[in-house]
Amino acid sequence: MARDYNPENIELKWQAIWEDSGIYHCEIDPDKPKKYVLEMFPYPSGSPHMGHVRNYTIGDVIARAARMRGYNVLHPMGWDAFGLPAENAAIKQNSHPAVWTYQNIEVQEKSFKRMGFSYDWRRKIVTCDPEYYRWGQWLFLKMHERGLVERKKSPVNWCPECATVLANEQVEGDGVCWRCASRVEKRNLAQWYFKITDYAQELLDDLDQLELWPERVKTMQANWIGRSTGANITFSICDEQGESTDQAITVYTTRPDTLFGCSFFLLAPEHPLVEEFTAGTPYEADCRAVIEASARETAVERESGIAEKQGAFTGRFVVNPINGAKVPVWIANYVLMDYGTGAVMAVPSGDDRDFEFARHYGLDIPPVVVAEDDPLLSTLRDESDLVQKNVDWDTGYTGPGVLVQSGPFTGMKGGKDSEACRAIVEALATEGKGEATVNFRLRDWLISRQRYWGNPIPMIHCDVCGLIPVPEEQLPVILPLDLDISKGATLDSDPSFYEVDCPACGAQAKRETDTMDTFTCSSWYFLRFADARNDEQAFSKKSADYWMPVDNYTGGIEHAILHLLYSRFFTKVMRDMDMLNFDEPFKQLLTQGMVKLDGEKMNKSKGNIVSPDEVVPRYGADTVRGYIMFMAPPDKDLDWSPDGVEGMHRFLGRVWRLVGEYVDTCVLAGSASATNSDEEAIVRQSLRDTQDASLTDAEQTLRRLTHKLTKKATDDIDRQQFNTAIAALMELTNALYDFKKQDNWTDSVYTAEGIDALLKMLAPIAPHITEELWRDLHGEQVESIHVQDWPSYNPDYVVADTIELPVQVNGKIRGRVEVAADAADEVVAEAAKIAVSDHIDDEEIKKLIVVPGRIVTIVI
């Protein structure tokens, strides 16, 4: 009687053996095709959850399958270890972030090993380790050299809870902190930036190269970058009489075609000219009220969605450069200082916001672009002068149309990027008052953080020399570990850290005490994995040339913008530094879905957590891996179901018993079990040489299913449809059980072939049980199943000799014909006619279509 399936025993046994033998280690091998399989490395937040299990199982299956398909596979693991949670937890527990971090890493590492993930652990990275973060500092200096680092004072996002500034990407839609969900405030502070906007166009363009990225991630990035085409138009400031002064303001617009409809002009409340215009005038008080209201509003009103349009007249005027009209200058709360130029030409008839503002303050709404079907068009079609100052519309009209009341441009087609846009910009350009331009929504990346647990920014403030980079040979700037941070102290409270001599002039200077955003650490870690133990460089060119780019990258959709945009930016910068010879770091991206419970996100505070620590000891890692891969396609959310876990456990049990019984029978018969794979291959080959006619029907069927399902599972794993790949393996198991009803089923070489294919294809998903059964089958001395070749299939064996085709009459299935698989279409057609003769009667056949191997359809 076969042994019981005891997952815990065999899993721990094989995990130890794999670790000792180092079978998952990899080295550069120019003779072998490489595959770099990577999952987004975890934050060491505590014990792992099902999301981790899913993420890393997906990657592991890809890596293992690739290894068996003959690739030299790099599959590494590390930790993104700097950041606020460590610091907050340490403050709470009166510990140190380093202690908390390394403890958690130990727990997670152990847990990942218990899952049987096939990492090359020699390449482990921990980003808070000086051996790693020194290279982050080095990259900062290199970017500084290239002019990509900037320190500037501007309104920034401040999270009061985290007591630090945040990047735009880290403020979520409703104005809250991505980490703690507190409401973010605006503060005017001097901060460090990476000039990601220098790469805005390329970051947008190269999305086209990413054929194997999900469409939605690319769309999200494109929206975030937010390219818009339009023109800069310059309005000169004029006096009360309309006489131009030598001062001017430039606006950005996407609709230069509507310029004749500009009936007022807007400045952002924070615009520097507002003070100059209004100081000491009767308009000062009103403007100040709007400025103050809008400063309060940004925090509060955004929450409610729509803020009421507010504004005030500044008492000043500008001249419309296209027609010399005198236009009043207002301030308005909906004009943003940090987009475009902070000033807007308002065209209420062509913009809903301007329309609303104009209605509210009783300003003119002259129509300039009118829809083809608007009755207004017939009355105004030929009007080049302003005859109608107002419309009776409910909103502005933003669609395409015809220009009216627009001087020489009247009658032209208007709208976004229209001929009128080009003509008007051209006319303005001749007078130096306009030029076509492009604007991006993307802002520079604010990377400084006023927190302790991060990579120190390697810069020094010298009163004499200004900002001086730390000389390269002095790297790394070590983050001191002896700080008592229990009260939330930062580097700013540690004189032994910040008191330094200026590297340039030797005067007493102050080291920068801000640290870098953790996202800087994760923006290049995939490159370090290629050469993790290099202590002379961030990574060698050779290792990057061989291993990069990452072939398969798996991680959560929450990084659709953040990490994935930053990493693309770093890659392009390093390419321009001649460190890399490619444009994009991640060839293929798989965004895995969440693991939920009863449709809800698992959450510590809700207490609805299913932990791998409780499920794995009970069912084994193989069952958990298999379940997670089977229950949904990898990119979809998955609802945890205890019954589903049982089902996967049952399936593995079926495989266990099938192979166990096979081995037992063979041992009794003194055959098969002793064969190693070479001998078996020879046996199988010789059998293939014999005539098919010697096969029984059952053998024919088993062979056909084995080859068909091998093809199916192989294809499905290739396209990462692991759920259907597992379904195919279940079918193969069922086919073997079916064949088991035959007498002497163990004698047939097709049983051996089926079991061989089943175990090998199941190996990436359930690595332990398959390894154990593989050794049962072939003996302890045989090489691991995980270094075996992936099974192949013979297309000739996939098709049966005869096939049954459905026959349709007028679109409905009315019968079936059994024909030879290679029968000519004419033969099939005749057979089909006979099969459905009842339904044809004497009707004339109008059309007869044979879709080979699929269907016959007859139209009468």
Considering only residues 834 to 853 of the shown chain, the ones binding RNA according to CB under 7 A are: 847, 849, 851
Q: How many angstroms separate the Cα of 129 from the Cα of each of 178, 210, 231, 758, 855?
A: 25, 33, 49, 43, 64
Which amino acid, 711?
Answer: K
Least distance from C-beta 458 to RNA, angstroms? Answer: 31
Stretch that binds RNA, among 16-24, 770-778, 793-801, 806-814 (CB under 7 A): 806-814
Q: Which two tokens stand for residue 523?
A: 């923006």
Q: Which two tokens stand for residue 505?
A: 């002039």
Q: Check binding of 3 to RNA (CB under 7 A).
A: no
Kindly state the number of chain residues that form the binding site for RNA, as judged by CB under 7 A. Answer: 87
Between residue 475 and residue 494, which ones bind RNA under the rule CB under 7 A?
Answer: none
- The pattern of x and - marking residues 137 through 176 that bind RNA according to CB under 7 A reads -----------------------------------xx---
For RNA, give the closer residue by CB, 68 or 645.
Answer: 645
For RNA, give the closer residue by CB, 502 or 850.
Answer: 850
Between residue 269 and residue 308, which ones bind RNA under the rule CB under 7 A?
Answer: 297, 301-302, 305-308
Which amino acid, 649?
Answer: H
For RNA, give the closer residue by CB, 557 or 698.
Answer: 557
Least distance from C-beta 647 to RNA, angstroms? Answer: 3
Per DSSP, the residues of 546-591 read HHPSEEEEEEEGGGTTHHHHHHHHHHHHHHHTTS-S-S-SEEEEEE
Is-contact 338 155, C-beta < 8 A?
A: yes
User: Which of residues 92, 381, 688, 812 is near RNA by CB under 7 A?
Assistant: 812
For RNA, give the closer residue by CB, 41 or 252.
Answer: 252
Q: Check binding of 804 to RNA (CB under 7 A).
A: yes
Q: Check binding of 340 to RNA (CB under 7 A).
A: yes
Least distance from C-beta 42 to RNA, angstroms? Answer: 20
Collect all residues with Cβ–Cβ distance below 8 Å to 38 and sequence separation of at least 6. 59, 74, 75, 76, 526, 529, 550, 552, 553, 554
Between residue 631 and residue 690, which ones bind RNA under the rule CB under 7 A?
Answer: 631-633, 636-639, 641, 643-644, 646-648, 650-651, 653-654, 657
Least distance from C-beta 722 to RNA, angstroms? Answer: 9
Q: Which two tokens stand for residue 271?
A: 């615009």
Closest by Cα among 641, 599, 596 to 49: 596
Closest by Cα among 75, 64, 73, 56 to 115: 56
Q: Check binding of 472 to RNA (CB under 7 A).
A: no
* Cα–Cα dist 171/161, whole Å: 13
Least distance from C-beta 205 to RNA, angstroms? Answer: 17
Closest by Cα among 714, 738, 767, 749 to 658: 738
Q: What single-letter DSSP state applies at residue 212?
A: B
User: Which of residues 54, 96, 134, 255 is near RNA by CB under 7 A?
Assistant: 255
* Cα–Cα dist 120/129, whole Å: 19
Between residue 698 and residue 737, which ones bind RNA under the rule CB under 7 A?
Answer: 721, 723-724, 726-727, 730-731, 734, 737
Least distance from C-beta 339 to RNA, angstroms? Answer: 4
Stretch that binds RNA, among 31-39, 239-247, 334-342, 497-505 (CB under 7 A): 334-342
User: Which of residues 42, 48, 230, 620 is near RNA by CB under 7 A?
Assistant: 230
Between residue 348 and residue 377, which ones bind RNA under the rule CB under 7 A?
Answer: 351, 353
Closest by Cα among 789, 841, 847 to 67: 789
Q: Coil, strand, or helix at residue 228?
A: strand
Q: Check binding of 400 to RNA (CB under 7 A).
A: no
CB atoms within 10 A of CB 610: 19
For RNA, give the closer residue by CB, 586 or 630.
Answer: 630
User: Which of residues 314, 333, 448, 543 is near RNA by CB under 7 A?
Assistant: 333
End-to-end, the C-alpha distance of the chain in Å comes to 63
Contacts 24+ apart (CB under 8 A), 281-290: 281/315, 282/315, 283/312, 283/313, 283/314, 283/315, 286/312, 286/313, 287/312, 287/314, 287/331, 290/331, 290/332, 290/333
Closest by Cα among 187, 197, 183 to 157: 187
Least distance from C-beta 117 to RNA, angstroms? Answer: 23
Between residue 182 and residue 221, which ones bind RNA under the rule CB under 7 A?
Answer: 215-216, 219-220
User: Which of residues 2, 12, 107, 557 is near RNA by CB under 7 A?
Assistant: 557
Least distance from C-beta 240 to RNA, angstroms? Answer: 27
For RNA, give the closer residue by CB, 89 or 557.
Answer: 557
Least distance from C-beta 65 to RNA, angstroms? Answer: 17
Q: Check binding of 435 to RNA (CB under 7 A).
A: no
* Cα–Cα dist 802/587, whole Å: 43
Helix 767-778 to helix 7-21 angle (10° resolution) is 80
Least distance from C-beta 760 to RNA, angstroms? Answer: 18
Least distance from C-beta 243 to RNA, angstroms? Answer: 27
Q: Check binding of 10 to RNA (CB under 7 A).
A: no
Q: Check binding of 268 to RNA (CB under 7 A).
A: yes
User: Which of residues 738, 784, 830, 840 is near RNA by CB under 7 A?
Assistant: 738
User: Which of residues 18, 140, 252, 539 is near RNA by CB under 7 A?
Assistant: 252
Least distance from C-beta 615 to RNA, angstroms? Answer: 16
Q: Check binding of 811 to RNA (CB under 7 A).
A: yes
Between residue 19 and residue 58, which ones bind RNA under the rule CB under 7 A?
Answer: none
Is-contact 69 44, C-beta < 8 A?
A: no
* Cα–Cα dist 311/667, whole Å: 91
* Cα–Cα dist 617/155, whole Å: 52
Between residue 604 and residue 633, which ones bind RNA under the rule CB under 7 A?
Answer: 630-633
User: Which of residues 56, 194, 224, 497 is near RNA by CB under 7 A?
Assistant: 224
Q: Which residues of 219-255 are buried (b: 16+ CB within 10 A; e: fewer)?
A: ebbeebbebeebbbbbbbbbeeeeeeeeeebbbbbbb
For RNA, give the closer residue by CB, 189 or 295.
Answer: 295
For RNA, give the closer residue by CB, 646 or 692.
Answer: 646
* Cα–Cα dist 255/424, whole Å: 10
CB atoms within 10 A of CB 118: 21
